[in-house]
Structure 1
Amino acid sequence: MISRTLSTVAGVVFLGVCGVVSAEPVEAVLDNGMKIVVQRDERAPVAVSQLWYRVGSVDEVNGRTGLSHLLEHMMFKGTPTVPAGEFSRLIAQAGGKDNAFTSRDYTVYFQQLAADKLPLALKLEADRMHNLSFKDSDFTSELQVVKEERRMRTDDQPAGIMAETLFANAFVANPVRYPVIGWMDDLDHMKPDDLRQWYHHWYGPNNATLVVVGDVDPQAVIAEARRQFGPLKPVALPERRPQIEPEQKGERRVSVKAVSPLPSLTLAWQVPRLEKVDAQRPYALYMLSAILDGQAASRLPRRLVREQRVATEVSADYDMLGRGGALFSLSGVPAQGKALAQLEQALRQEMAHIARDGVSERELERVRLQLQAGRIYEKDSMFAQAMRIGNLESIGFSWRDDATIDANIAKVSAEQVRQAARSLVDDHLTVVTLLPQQGDKPRMPAMPQGDQTHVR
């Protein structure tokens, strides 16, 4: 028996049918350029609303880093009709929760609440898209919060220092080299008007995508979004000029010292991101990363940790989706009594084995099944569904490309994986080593540099 719920809020009808997920999203584009994508998921009477602004640290320039992240903080400082703190109070009063995060590619504001309360979230987001206001004193206090956030998550964390050092040295021109939270010196010299200008430059309906997933009627959501966001005027977006990274023509090495109980190592190669859905190399690199790491049976943990015992931790990483430069990286912590040079040699040997001998069809099929299972489990989460849609829409793809991307990953051959491994040459390599120093323990775990979540 399928249960149905019917609610009317602000003149909008939201119909929920528990137990059903619609075949595909429904989209609309408002006259002001704002895009709305709604995925109906009727398994629970709740909804996730995510407002994606296509602006992040890759849109910043040297001397003005950290603007996107700090503006995310300031967006909670209120409007003339919704004072500071009132946004979150109203969402909580309605039984929901809200937050935001900034990455290199975008800034996202989200709410999770009962489906019939969705109009409240849309009304509040439309208000602060156009009417944000903050005092200079609010800026000064929040800037101190962000500086402390940087100290705790980067300056006092070995992993944060390593990540920041890696991107700053692996790239010389592409803005992916800038930390999302910004360089401390840039934060020291930031002014309130810097944030106000950034807001007026980038925060407009024509630079935003609203993604809603939940127990809602898509047409009702689109109608409500049109009512709330439709009257807002588009903004004149700054010109985005390509900042193409010059070809790297030699291996780069850098060592950093930080308070840490153990040394660590990262090898990272400059590689392409996925720019067209029919590209081949990014898919092969993605599959190579999954073969090396991701499960206990993957090559790196199996061979380097359990068999050779040269490492206590190992990982491989490659994100093919984004607007900036990309790296394919191998990282690890040497086992007790093992030197960083031994770990580096072991990592290189594993890559050389694949480049020479390739991978078996059995191993490839196992990884395909693991990736397919992960994508299926992802659909159990409304938030994850919205993230996938918003991510694709914000980096230049469409949610319609999702199935094609998955299909292309599944079609990667063993020979393509071997060629991907062969393409990782030393001339495009950056090696970063962490040399541990004695001192006080770090204060809290580091957050990945590509995703700075607002903490309140």
Structure 2
Amino acid sequence: MRFLTVLLFVVTGTAMAASAPVTHDFTLDNGLRVLVREDHRAPVAVQMVWYKAGSYDEAPGQTGIAHVLEHMMFKGTENFTAGDFSKLVRRFGGSDNAFTSYDYTAYFQKFEVSRLPLMLEIEADRMANLVIDEEEFARELKVVLEERRQRTDDNPGALAWEKFAAITRPGSGYSSPIIGWPTELNQLTVNHARDWYQRYYTPSNATLIIAGNVTLDQVRPLVEKFYGRIPDRAKAPDRPQPRLASPAGERRLTLRLPVQVPSLYMSWNVPTLATHPDDFYALTMLSAVFDGGMSARLETNLVRGSELAAGAGAGYGGISRADGLFTVTATPKDGVTLAKLESAVQQQLDRLRQNPPSDEEMRRVRAGVLSSQVYGRDSLFGQAMELGQLVTLGVDWRLSDQFIERLNKVTPEDVQRAAAQWLVNERLAVAHVLPEEAK
């Protein structure tokens, strides 16, 4: 009965892929790329603007400027004073926010669809007319420094991860934290923010996503009206093509911090969807084999099935401009050393390198991955996120419609090969995080 349930889910998922929602893709004369995703289930919509500007793009000595500029985008334009933007969105029943990543910065609003003209107008306004006031910048920089103190400096677990992340992808923009290093944040000036805005916040360096109860005929004239009149201030900065770096060699880090319990971090530099599409799907399945619910291998063999780990998990970040990361984290049970726990993780990998997963395990794992994908696309925001990520990273957004089909083609031997080819020591970074010794 379980086999039939999983089989029916996979077949249904494939049918869903065949009836993908309608998506329109066009570019304005000023270089702004626009994607319109029609979803007529409810009278609501989402607007997202994605800029090809993240912490990866920051100049040496200016870490954190991408995130600081994100804060400044809410501080007023030639037409709005500080704080008015979000107040206006909320006044008409909407919500808004923004986020900065290594590879991009994005701004969004969720709203009742009749408010689309207003949302387009005010978002276009801050693309064209942001005012970066020196006093406002100084105040917001203090806010960011306090945010860093609360989230990282005073959080031993987050501080450990930040230090570990610095060795996972060395020599790249991924080795610095998105929020920035404290010494460099303190040296940022209002001119750094103004330069970042002028260089990157220009139509040809942005993608506009509209998802919801809309049509192309309805949206296109409004986009032309509000965004089409924005001049392209500068040529969009060239971005290197996505590439997988050469193996950096095994890297190890031992940290003593005021944590309550020891932790093990292991990350391998692996391909992404942009560099090795076939490996992306195999590594996605491999991640779920390791950590795809209570029946997954780490939970079964290290947590519930042994006296080694109090908790363990795995994840694969395969959507990025450079190396992706395949990561395993674990916390040992009392009396178990991190070295012993690390050896146990390697033993689980060795088993997978030597013997592929069974067909039954693949069916179970695939059903879990597909269900997560389907549920993620159930929301307008999830759809807009997926489109924005792919386009901003230089990946054809149509690949999202192929996910289910491509995942169904992954064989047990593909998963075995991915483990043997990519999860090797020359691509591995390890951190042992230990409680501080008593003083």
Q: TM-score, normalised by structure 1?
A: 0.88
2:262 is aligned with 1:263: yes
Equivalent residue, structure 2, for 1:253: 252
Q: 1:50 aligns with which of 48, 51, 74?
A: 48
CA drift of 1:241 comes to: 4.7
Equivalent residue, structure 1, for 2:432: 433
Letter in 2 for 1:250: G
Structure 1 segments, 4+ long, off by >4 Å, are 241-246
Aligned positions of 1:155-174 closer than 5 A: 155-174=153-172
Q: 1:421 aligns with which of 396, 419, 422?
A: 419
1:410 and 1:155 map into 2 onto residues whose CA distance is 43
> Secondary structure, in 3 states, of the residue corresponding to 2:277?
coil
Q: 1:123 aligns with which of 121, 124, 139?
A: 121
1:164 and 1:265 map into 2 onto residues whose CA distance is 14
1:218 and 1:388 map into 2 onto residues whose CA distance is 19
Comparing 156-165 with 33-42, greater Cα deviation is found at 156-165
Comparing 354-363 with 194-203, greater Cα deviation is found at 354-363
1:110 and 1:23 map into 2 onto residues whose CA distance is 21
- Unpaired segments ≥5 residues, structure 1: 1-20, 440-456
2:345 is aligned with 1:350: no
1:97 and 1:213 map into 2 onto residues whose CA distance is 15
- Describe the shift of the 1:248–1:271 C-alpha distance in structure 2 as closer, same or farther (beyond 3 A): same
Contact 2:67 2:100 in 1 (8 A): yes
Equivalent residue, structure 2, for 1:24: 22
Contact 2:309 2:332 in 1 (8 A): yes
2:238 is aligned with 1:239: yes
> Secondary structure, in 3 states, of the residue corresponding to 2:53?
coil
1:221-275 per-position Cα deviation (integer Å, ceiling 9, x unaligned): 1211111000111222233357977634532111122221111011111112222
Equivalent residue, structure 2, for 1:391: 389
2:345 and 2:155 map into 1 onto residues whose CA distance is 24
Aligned positions of 1:287-298 closer than 5 A: 287-298=285-296
Aligned positions of 1:69-148 closer than 5 A: 69-148=67-146
2:201 is aligned with 1:200: no
1:41 and 1:244 map into 2 onto residues whose CA distance is 34
Letter in 1 for 2:361: E
Letter in 1 for 2:270: V
> Secondary structure, in 3 states, of the residue corresponding to 2:145?
helix
> Secondary structure, in 3 states, of the residue corresponding to 2:404?
helix
Letter in 2 for 1:260: V
Contact 1:165 1:432 in 2 (8 A): no
Equivalent residue, structure 1, for 2:274: 275
1:390-411 per-position Cα deviation (integer Å, ceiling 9, x unaligned): 1111111122121224322221
CA drift of 1:212 comes to: 1.4
1:106 and 1:357 map into 2 onto residues whose CA distance is 39
Q: TM-score, normalised by structure 2?
A: 0.91
- Describe the shift of the 1:378–1:239 C-alpha distance in structure 2 as closer, same or farther (beyond 3 A): closer
- Unpaired segments ≥5 residues, structure 2: 1-18
Aligned positions of 1:361-400 closer than 5 A: 361-400=359-398
Letter in 1 for 2:425: D
CA drift of 1:438 comes to: 7.9
2:21 and 2:259 map into 1 onto residues whose CA distance is 49
2:218 is aligned with 1:225: no
Q: Percent identity?
A: 39
1:74-125 per-position Cα deviation (integer Å, ceiling 9, x unaligned): 0011011111111011111111111101111111101111110111111011
Letter in 2 for 1:409: L
Alpha-carbon RMSD = 1.9
Contact 2:265 2:430 in 1 (8 A): yes
Letter in 2 for 1:171: R
1:162-213 per-position Cα deviation (integer Å, ceiling 9, x unaligned): 3222221122212111211111111011111001000000001111111111
Letter in 2 for 1:261: Q
2:241 and 2:213 map into 1 onto residues whose CA distance is 40
2:424 and 2:238 map into 1 onto residues whose CA distance is 34
How many residues are paired up?
Answer: 418
Equivalent residue, structure 2, for 1:313: 311
- Describe the shift of the 1:371–1:243 C-alpha distance in structure 2 as closer, same or farther (beyond 3 A): closer
2:256 and 2:300 map into 1 onto residues whose CA distance is 29
